Copies of this chain bind each other. A is one copy, B any other.
Amino acid sequence: MQPRDPEFRARIAAAFAAQGLMATLGGRLVAMEPGRCTIEADFAPGLTQHHGLFHAGVLTTLADNACGFAAMSLLPPGGEVLSVEFKTSFLRPASGLVAVARGEVLKPGRTLTFCRADIFVRDAAGAETLVATMLATMIAAAPEAR
């Protein structure tokens, strides 16, 4: 996939930094290629559901961003995205040291971009387990343009 904005990494880094929620959850933008984005967060007691595992909402948030930034990487200069909708399936309990969301663009478009993300947990030995998967639709538009 070909980026239409050579400065897409800077544009996405700025958007990431502007998201208050990423600081709150400890999210890190660890990889960014055209049409692909990886976001991680370390386990912390402040990210848990009632069994002490990663909350589904945390996994979904990381995956939403991984999809959104993957979509944004293919837009022209100034391009931003909003989440139209997403669905997440939770395959296994998310017990691990790091949550890793890898998003990719399935089909770019002028208006809509279709994405998917896989969400893993990584253990102390670096082994990864798939714990959830997402399908997402992103729209390239300012809020008022919907």
Contact = CB atoms under 8 A, between A and B. Distances in A.
A92 B90 CA distance: 22
Contact of A89 (B15, B85, B93, B133): B85
Interface majority SS on A: helix, strand, loop or mixed?
mixed
Interface in A66-119: 80, 82-93, 106-107, 109-112, 114, 116
A135 interface: yes
Chain A interface size, under 10 / 10 to 19 / 20 to 34 / 35 or more: 35 or more
Contacts of A62: 57
A131 to B, nearest CB: 9
Given A20-B47, A57-B62, A107-B130, 4 more contacts: A19-B55, A53-B143, A83-B90, A135-B135
